[in-house]
Chain A
Amino acid sequence: MIAAIVAAAATHAAPQSSGMPQFNPAFYPSQIFWLAISFVVLYLLMSRVALPRIGEVIEERRDRIQRDIDSAEKAKRETEKALAGYEKALADARGRASGMAKETRDKLTAEVDAEKSRVDAQVQAKIAEAETRITATKTKAMASIGEIASDIAGAVVGKLTGSDATPDEVKKALLQVSSK
């Protein structure tokens, strides 16, 4: 293929010059000389200036992106920590609130109980007092019954027999009867 192209090029070039300029050795030293200069200059410019500069910028960008990612992750961790702290505080507060509610409830129950037992005690005391009073009245009444009975018995005896019995006799007779 290459041979065909070269041949075609050669025939095409024939009328103008003695052959393809590419195969004219007269220019080889010049071509190689200037190629060497161009290549060395380009190599120095590339290896000393252009490539380090481009590499540096790319490196810097990569570093910068990495740094940004790192700081974003750090911020995320901090946010999560803060969130956890907030939730803990919330749970604490909730716990304290329920504790306080329970305490208050207990205190109130205790107060109610105390009041109830105090009132109960008062009522009991009043009942006891009333009972003693009743008992006293009963005994007193019972005591009076004997006297009244002897009075009545004396009066009954006087009416029946016509002669008054002395209270002492009546008493003695009553005692005899009640002891039976």
Chain B
Amino acid sequence: MHQFELTKKVPLELFGYDVSFTNSSLWMLIAVVAASAFLIMSMRGRSLVPTRFQSMAEVIYEFMAKTVRDVCGPEGMKYFPFVFTIFIFVFFANVLGIIPGSFTTTSHISVTFALALTVFVFVTLVGFKTQGVGYLKMFVPEGVPLLLLPLIVVIEVISYFMRPVSLSVRLFANMLAGHILLKVFAGFVIGLGLVGGWAPLAFMVGFTGFELGIAMLQAFIFALLTCIYLNDALHSHH
């Protein structure tokens, strides 16, 4: 489990809590710097005919903007920066984690759960802000027999509070599983040696590409679910 091990780089304490700067913190900051550098530097020219990097930044922007607009409607664009930040952070954290020797911050449940909880709290606040108490109607689906209603409401409430759990565990488990699999196969490479080691090595090369896809897809799923939750918060269901 060496690849998931946290090591303190700079010991730090705040209000009695240990908030040391770890390798995980370092890779979070690297993700922030990489994402910002990519999105800000590439737009430096602001050219009408985009350069390679600029057009990549624009494609990501338009892609996320389209997702938010399609899922949440035009009102959702108010929260586009939030969704975009979630997406780009998870995206860079996932992709940077593929680099051998790096640290995948999103393979830690504490990180993904904190992110999911942020989404959860944010969406709940937006829901009460736009719909007021009416947001609670979400737990009372229409057309349900009165007898079943108490049960349904309980289930709806539980499923609402399970959102951050499913959101965080999905991302965490995907990142974890991919990395463990790569490590297991890396062990096979050593174990089979020069003679048979090539097969698992070839698999690892292919699987790394697959992991890159997973990294992007999971970032998108995280952002898409955020959009779907945001849509619930913005529009009442009847």
A21 and B58 within 8 A (CB): no
Query: Is B85 at the interface (CB under 8 A from chain A)?
Result: yes
Which of B12, B17, B22, B43 is the one whose CB lies under 8 Å from A54? B43
Q: B1-9, B147-155, B199-207, B229-237: which one contacts chain A? A: B1-9
Query: Is B223 at the interface (CB under 8 A from chain A)?
Result: no
Also in contact, A34 and B176, with CB within 8 A (given A50-B40, A51-B81, A54-B57): no
Contacts of B40 in A (CB 8 A): 45, 49-50, 53
B81 and A47 within 8 A (CB): yes
Q: B29-37, B124-132, B188-196: which one contacts chain A? A: B29-37
Query: Is B102 at the interface (CB under 8 A from chain A)?
Result: no
Contacts of B12 in A (CB 8 A): 30
A27 and B21 within 8 A (CB): no
Bin chain A's interface residue count.
Answer: 35 or more
B1 and A34 within 8 A (CB): no
The number of A-B residue pairs with CB atoms under 8 Å apart is 153
Also in contact, A35 and B17, with CB within 8 A (given A22-B176, A43-B85, A46-B39): no
CB of A38, distance to nearest CB on chain B (Å): 4
Contacts of B39 in A (CB 8 A): 46, 50, 54
Query: Is A26 at the interface (CB under 8 A from chain B)?
Result: yes
CB of A62, distance to nearest CB on chain B (Å): 11
Contacts of A74 in B (CB 8 A): none
Among A6, A33, A38, A47: residue with most chain B CB under 10 A:
A38
B61 and A54 within 8 A (CB): yes
Contacts of B139 in A (CB 8 A): none
Q: B104-112, B156-164, B208-216: which one contacts chain A? A: B104-112
Contacts of B88 in A (CB 8 A): 42, 46
CB of A7, distance to nearest CB on chain B (Å): 11
Query: Could you mark each residue 49-64 of chain A with 1 if its beta carbon is under 8 Å from any beta carbon of chain B, else 0?
Result: 1110111111011001
Query: Is B62 at the interface (CB under 8 A from chain A)?
Result: yes
Contacts of A28 in B (CB 8 A): 110
Contacts of B114 in A (CB 8 A): 31-32, 35-36
Query: Could you mark each residue 1-23 of chain A with 1 if its beta carbon is under 8 Å from any beta carbon of chain B, else 0?
Result: 11001101100110011001111
Which of B2, B17, B35, B46 is the one whose CB lies under 8 Å from A33? B17
Q: Which of A39-92 contact B (CB under 8 A)?
A: 39, 41-43, 45-47, 49-51, 53-58, 60-61, 64
The distance in angstroms between the C-alpha atoms of A9 and B22, with both chains bound, is 22
The distance in angstroms between the C-alpha atoms of A125 and B88, with both chains bound, is 117
B35 and A23 within 8 A (CB): no
CB of A39, distance to nearest CB on chain B (Å): 6
A22 and B118 within 8 A (CB): no
Also in contact, A27 and B169, with CB within 8 A (given A49-B40, A51-B61, A57-B58): no
Contacts of A61 in B (CB 8 A): 48
CB of A149, distance to nearest CB on chain B (Å): 129
A21 and B5 within 8 A (CB): yes
The distance in angstroms between the C-alpha atoms of A33 and B1, with both chains bound, is 23
Q: Which residue from chain A places its CB closest to the CB of B24 in the assembled complex?
A: A31
Which residues of B come within 8 Å of A, CB atoms? 1-2, 4-6, 12, 14, 17-22, 24-25, 28-29, 31-32, 35-36, 39-40, 43, 46-48, 50, 54, 57-58, 61-62, 80-82, 84-85, 88-89, 105, 107-111, 114-115, 118, 169, 172-173, 176-177, 180, 184
- Given A36-B114, A50-B57, 4 additional A-B pairs, CB 8 A: A30-B12, A34-B28, A46-B35, A47-B81
Which residues of A come within 8 Å of B, CB atoms? 1-2, 5-6, 8-9, 12-13, 16-17, 20-24, 26-36, 38-39, 41-43, 45-47, 49-51, 53-58, 60-61, 64
What are 26 A-B pairs at a CB distance below 8 A? A5-B173, A9-B176, A16-B1, A20-B1, A21-B5, A21-B6, A22-B4, A22-B107, A22-B110, A22-B176, A30-B12, A30-B24, A31-B22, A31-B24, A31-B111, A34-B19, A38-B31, A38-B89, A41-B32, A45-B40, A46-B84, A50-B57, A51-B81, A54-B39, A58-B62, A64-B48
